[in-house]
Amino acid sequence: MRIRTQSTASRFRRTITWVSFAFGVLGLGAAALSISYFRNHPDVVAQKATTVMVVTSAAIGIGCGAYCIGALVSFLTGTTPRSMWLRVLFAPVSLVILFLFLPIALPFLYVTRVGFGSGKRASRWQKIPLLIFLEAVCLVVWTRGVTSLYDTVKYAFNFVNDRIAISGTGSMYPSFPKGHGKTLEELSREVVSTQGMMRYPTGFEFGGKRYFNYILGRGDIVSFINDKTRSITQEDIGTPTGFLKRTIALPGDTVEVRDGILFINNEPQREPYTARGRSTFGGSVLSDCTPLTVPDGKLFVMGDNRKGSLDSRHELGLVDFRDIDHVLPYQKQIGTLSNVWHDATNDLDPSQKISLDVEAYIDLLNAKRKEAGKAPFRLEVKLVVSAKKRGETMLKYDDFSFEATRSGFTQARAMEGSGYSNIVWGETYASGHYEAEELIDNQFAFPQSKAFLLNGQFQDIGIAEVDGVRHGCPTKIIVQHLAGYVPPNYTKEQIASWKSALGALGDVETGWNQLKSFQPFYEGNKDDVDRINDIIRTRISRIAQIVTRMEANGWLSREEQEWASQDVSLGNEFASIANRLNDRLSHR
């Protein structure tokens, strides 16, 4: 009879060593393939199954690879891992192996050490069905446990991706499409896309410092909400919400826009994600050619559709890091969003500048007015002249206020100088180079300019592009002058008052004129009698013309307005002379 010299424990150790070695090799291969796939397909980061596969494969590969190193050293040297460096290696590795191979080791150990309860030792082949069953059960339970642990860690450290709904306002075009709504409210409520974005911040905070946090970079797309976004969206669409913009400058960066080009720290930027090259111009917060240094804790953000985005250049201002809730890193936009970006190679070339097609712009504007139920604009040459004069004055005095506080050259003076007059008028301007559709997008992105252009009181329009220099850099502004006629719609009481005055003057005209026939009295009071009759004739003539204009519901001319204001003093003078003459007549 042959005697076995190896114990069951010795055989188990040898077997588990070679099994571990095999799984280590497979695990390393799976980890390498998974990581390679993960790097080449960043869009699947939000898919839970793929993420679990990558993390699990990498963990198996690292753990088993480390175990294999120790096993090979032990096998090749014929020694047990008793030296200090092997003990240090085996201490953490043993824990990893115990965790990773628990669903394999436990069923294997149970089947090799335990019989079937019959008192007979089962053969190897008889134990296979039980081993398969136990392996399956343990693997399912273990996998669910690992997945739950992974999810717990992921959510605890905020390593979570959410699907963010993108509205159709078009401020991030072309990265995200424009909507088809007719109004800003409709566009804001229209979802044109959803995008997986990472929650921000990530990691955990300890001792006043955050660990494992994603560091925001230029080009990252961020979503945020603060008091300013709530106020803007509440006013525009009736619902307070947040914004989605692109990170342009970080704390310490100096931002400047010059001649349609973005400069960061005095370096011109080629931006393939913008709707068009050389399309970045200033606003109320960051005007053209005025450098702005971003303070600590703040970000400077802009939309990709630079001429149709309300962002840090305008009343939105700088964004606080604490307001950001999601981020899409720039690198993860490559191969997905970048497919719709433009070639920015020649963006800095002066030939890329554009000019406005005025006729095309007015056609687009009239289409908007038609949708709003307003009459179309007529291009008025005299208003074109006044708009050009105003634009030249704005650039010369760096005075863009409607009241012309520096230059004193208001729109009213510009229209007067061009020979144009009307009842109501207004003015708007935009800085930069625009195509017709871009200017429409820009003007209608802001509620005030949109309401101004859709004002039904205006019928005439004049548009002028004016080039000049502002703050030492070339600048173009587009000035629009609007004007129109609105009927005065006088009340019945207003007309009746003037007609009553006219009737009263007619009643006394004959009597005062007859004083000239009383020669002794007339000779003694000639100046007063002539003057009172002259006042009566003047007032009757003027009031009759005013009444005619008012009954036709027409505005009084400037001369007629002067007559109306002078009538009060003439009436007072009439009453004074009449009292004096009546006193003299009564004492005769």
What's the CA gap between 133 and 119, in Å, rounded? 22
**Catalytic entry in 20, 167, 171, 386:** 171
**Closest alpha carbon to 127 in 118, 87, 432:** 118
User: What is the rounded distance in angstroms from the CA atom of residue 19 to the CA atom of residue 23?
Assistant: 6
The residues, ordered by sequence, that sit 6+ positions from 177 with a Cβ below 8 Å of its Cβ are 168, 170, 192, 193
Nearest one of 269, 439, 435 to 354, comparing CA atoms: 435
The C-alpha atoms of residue 243 and residue 222 are separated, in whole angstroms, by 8
Q: How far apart are CA 17 and CA 81, in angstroms?
A: 13
Do 264 and 249 contact (CB within 8 A), yes or no?
Answer: yes
Find out whether 389 and 418 touch, Cβ atoms under 8 Å. yes
Q: 64 — alpha (psi -120 to 50), left (phi > 0) or beta?
A: alpha
Catalytic entry in 245, 382, 389, 450: 245
Give Cα separations from 494 to 497, 505, 536 (angstroms): 5, 17, 21
**278 and 347 Cβ atoms separated by less than 8 Å:** yes
Residue 372: CB atoms within 10 Å: 15
Question: How far are the Cα atoms of 200, 249, 285, 346, 355 from residue 244, in angstroms, in the given order?
Answer: 14, 15, 19, 28, 29
- Inter-residue contact 321 to 216 (CB < 8 Å): yes
Instruction: Quote the CA–CA distance of 587 and 240 in Å, as a whole number.
Output: 82
245 is catalytic: yes
Residues recognised as catalytic: 171, 245
